[in-house]
Structure 1
Amino acid sequence: MKLFTGLALALCCATSLQAQSIVPPRGEIITDTGCLVTGLDSNGDGFLALCAGPGSGYAQIGSLHNGDAAYLRACDGKWCFVRNGALNGREARFEGWVYTAWCDFYP
């Protein structure tokens, strides 16, 4: 069931990304830094929104959960542009913006 949910989420994100226009970062900085999603309240909404731009006013195009990871490419204040990572422990391709309050940064 977890595998099916992960695949469905990955497909949802991929489909949404094609339909949404993502605001690109001003300058992409390729780093080895990543965001491990932690601290989300399972009794709350339980996910970190993947947005089309750096702010909550942009469309949500996907979601990340505790334990998911994303590679940082550029940041604009507390919002970072991410590209690819892992969803449910499996490599996944996605891109968008996340709010960094729930990121545990790793090298």
Structure 2
Amino acid sequence: MRKLFAGIILAASVVLGPALAEELDIPVMVWAADDLATCSFGVVTGLDPSGDNFLAVRAGPGSGHRMLNKINTNDEVWIFDENNGWFGIAYGSPDINCSPASADRPYIGPGKTGWVFGKYVKIIAG
């Protein structure tokens, strides 16, 4: 019985752990817009190599939100949302797509999500 219980706890932590660790304060939204693509494609640029030389991915649009991750120059991001100069992004997966959405909803696709300061993202397409 103890082994079964430990196995259930381990399985739950594997399934729930990453989701809890990356929970956003403000979700990145996918906005439905008349059969149009739901995101733009960009790359991280303009970081100061003499400074931190990374772009903080945050749990919400603002430096007051906790940092979830760090991304670097030339990392690819898909921009789904914008809030006061901050971009709601998905990143870290080749399977992210910008297919039209039938209704507004939080992003739940592949990859990780978060918010980055838009000054450091160059939009390439979309």
Aligned equivalent of 2:58: 51
Contact 1:28 1:74 in 2 (8 A): yes
Instruction: Identify unmatched segments of 5+ residues in structure 2.
Output: 1-16, 32-36, 95-109
Secondary structure of the equivalent of 1:31? coil
More strand by share: 1
Secondary structure of the equivalent of 2:63? coil
Over the residues paired in the alignment, what is the CA RMSD in angstroms? Answer: 2.2
Q: Describe the shift of the 1:44–1:16 C-alpha distance in structure 2 as closer, same or farther (beyond 3 A).
A: farther
Give the Cα–Cα distance (whole angstroms) in 2 for the partners of residues 71 and 94 of structure 1.
10
Aligned equivalent of 2:43: 36
Is the counterpart of residue 75 in structure 1 residue 77 in structure 2? no
The percentage of counterpart residues that share the same residue type is: 28
CA deviation vs aligned residue, 1:25-66 (integer Å, no higher than 9, x gap)? 4x4225341221011111100001000000000000001110
Give the Cα–Cα distance (whole angstroms) in 1 for the partners of residues 38 and 85 of structure 2.
17
Aligned residue pairs, count: 88
Flag as ranges the 4+ runs of structure 1 deviating above 4 A: none
**TM-score for both structures, normalised by structure 1:** 0.71
**TM-score for both structures, normalised by structure 2:** 0.61
Instruction: Identify unmatched segments of 5+ residues in structure 1.
Output: 1-14
Aligned equivalent of 2:118: 100
Which amino acid counterpart does residue 24 of structure 1 have in structure 2?
Answer: P
Q: Describe the shift of the 1:41–1:33 C-alpha distance in structure 2 as closer, same or farther (beyond 3 A).
A: same
